[in-house]
Chains A and B, each alone.
Chain A
Amino acid sequence: MDERLKKIQEKIREKSKELLSKKRVDLIIGFSNWTLPLRTTPVFIRTPEGTESLIWNSFCENNLATYIHKFNRFRVGIVVKGCDARSLTALSLEKRFNPDGIFLIGVPCQRMVDRRKVARAVKGEIIRVEERGEELLVEGEEFKTVLEKRDFLYPSCQVCIHRTPSQAHFLADDPVEEFPLVETHPEVDVFEKKPPEERWRYFESETSRCIRCYACRQVCPMCYCTECFVECLRPKWIEGGLNPQDLQFYHIVRAYHQTGRCSGCGACERACPMDIPLTYLTQKLNQDVKELFGFEVGLDSKTPPPLSTYEVEDKGDFIK
């Protein structure tokens, strides 16, 4: 196993054990290995001994901030990457939990590996994966191959410039140097270069695969409405079937509700069983918010997202 990741894992376990032993928290939310390679699973640890199952690797792709809604009555220790911590800061601004009841175990993130991209790069089912520094050793029944991790990172991780969760109460390793691997989100880039009608065609064809499982909404920490507009019956905004206009409507509204709130963690896209690209929309909105308002989500716990606030002296001239 990779030395740095191993060290981080040890620190996560140590800290979690300490927090639980000293009863500083009721539970730790972290990652654990489970039954499939290239995957990890969220775990909820309540005993100091249980912390031995906590792990850290490049497949810790979930944004655990989403569980804060389920556990906001408890004192929670939570393992966070840069993006996850920013989601939590944004959520604390929206008063979703008591900030005193939460302890962030931050991991300066090495960027996460896109499991589907890895799966597509080989023929046959992957049964074992090992991380070795910058390489991934991937094995199946009839193959064994080495891949460069760098070629298999999630798009949202490639553009990330907030890998270190600076808001964390504890960092499992030294902060990492912040730089993007690519200047702009690769899919936003391609999307922006298309003429408007082609953009629409792309959006139309990608959303046509949607099965309305709402996994993109459910895994998102920022989607916590008691009643989502798609489930609201009075007024009824949207039908429940697979009409293209309803699928498009859902995806547009979902993305727009994220404006200035999305940390760009990519959880929505990772959850989609139909491989629908989603982050090009939210990342585009993030770029616009940054450009128009100089705002990035979750960098401090005081500035509210620009579209969630107003001031009397607001000038309307940015809407033209």
Chain B
Amino acid sequence: MMLRLDKRDFKKFLEDLMEEFDLYAPASLVEGVSVFKKIDNPEEVNLTPTLTQKPAKETFFPQSEPMFNYKTEGHKSQMKSLDEIKRERILLGARPCDIEAISIIEKVFLSEPYTDVYFLEKRKKTTLIGLGCNQPLSTCFCTSAGGGPFLRMGSDIFLIDLGGAYSVELLTEKGRLFGKNRFLKEALPEDKRQIKELEKRAFEKIGVSIPVDGIEKRLDLMTESSFWDRVHEKCVGCRICTYLCPTCHCFDIVDEGDHARGQRVRNWDSCLSSLYSLETSGHNPRPTTRERVRQRLMHKFNYFPKIFNRVACVGCGRCIQYCPVHFDIRQAIIWTSSKRPSELKT
């Protein structure tokens, strides 16, 4: 079903949503830095930046999440699970790459038999409102990574910015429940044409140029390739690419507290950190950035597709934009198809 939301009604529309739901949407923290956060005031919502710094995965998989807490008194002890969320949620304004990424990490968190209750609880109680990308960035390569700037898949509702209004497509059962909202009007006959044009322009801008297809097979033969000797060199081993990646999903579980009270917490972890693979003996099987960068790329483009039939990269380009030493994952992908990897200039 295709509807239309006048931008003048947008804030009131959000207010309506917030009466029933916890709203998660992009908001600026300071100029130029935005994240998905729980919205307290509709004024906070800022859909202008093409990409937030931190991806939408945080709505389901927070960077730091208490799993349960406990306290003891004498011989009595009490434990309280913290998996339940009280209100239904809406994730609004996630770009198709971020939505696609959620369906990718779902494969990890929601596959039988090990379903993650923390992820599941949030996921099943959330309606996804995607937002088309009218202005993809030069670092976007979603079209090469199985997605697209207007990919509806995964969204319950899909918004497209038409200038003075949003086109609102209700795509799923969950999405159609919103059809009765007082601010949603019938679409105009010309909306379809305008959307087509926007889609065409965005697609043309991105193009399909990065050889992601077939990368799994190429990497099969490359575990000990000299490729890795060069590709990692500039990596300084920070965690930006993994933390800002919408599909990276590694975590660490730690207990905080003492015998009397405390909590178990799940924190994001990163294969680029040395502690990640450090063993109790003191041995580290991934001693340098060479092995760590290889792990990151192999996981995304070889191990993950072997299990789940899809590369764990959606081409959002955050890792390219924010890497402090300007590592470009697109280039690494291109190099995997180059014939003489040892002559690479990193």
Contact = CB atoms under 8 A, between A and B. Distances in A.
Max chain A Cβ within 10 angstroms of own Cβ: one of B139, B234, B330 = B234
Interface of B: 29-33, 53-54, 63-64, 135, 137-139, 230, 233-234, 236-240, 243-244, 252, 254, 256, 265, 267, 270, 273-275, 288-289, 320-322, 324-328, 330-331, 345-346
A241 B29 contact: no
Given A42-B325, A209-B29, A275-B32, A215 B320 contact: no
Given A36-B139, A213-B243, A242-B63, A41 B33 contact: no
Contact of A41 (B63, B230, B275, B325): B325
Contact of B320 (A36, A70, A239, A241): A36
Interface stretch (A84-92, A119-127, A152-160, A166-174): A119-127
Nearest to A62: B325
Contacts of A34: 326, 328, 331
Given A43-B345, A213-B240, A119 B273 contact: no
Contacts of B326: 34-36, 39-41
Nearest to A119: B32
Contact of B252 (A62, A120, A240): A240
Contacts of B236: 66, 215, 218-219
Given A34-B328, A242-B64, A273 B31 contact: no
Given A44-B234, A125-B138, A274 B29 contact: yes
Contacts of A119: 32
26 contacts: A34-B328, A35-B139, A35-B326, A36-B320, A42-B234, A44-B233, A53-B345, A116-B32, A120-B31, A125-B137, A209-B29, A209-B30, A213-B238, A213-B239, A215-B239, A217-B238, A218-B237, A219-B238, A231-B273, A240-B267, A241-B63, A241-B64, A241-B265, A267-B324, A271-B238, A274-B29
A11 interface: no
Max chain B Cβ within 10 angstroms of own Cβ: one of A35, A217, A241, A267 = A241
Contacts of B320: 35-36
B324 A62 contact: yes
Contacts of B239: 212-215
A50 interface: yes
Contacts of B30: 209, 275
Contacts of A35: 139, 320, 326, 328, 330-331
A85 B54 CA distance: 34
Given A36-B138, A36-B320, A271-B324, A44 B346 contact: yes
A240 B331 contact: no
A215 B138 contact: no
A36 B237 CA distance: 21
Contacts of B139: 35-36
B176 to A, nearest CB: 36
A211 B346 contact: no
A209 B63 CA distance: 12
A270 interface: yes
Contacts of B256: 239, 241
Contacts of B63: 211-212, 241-242
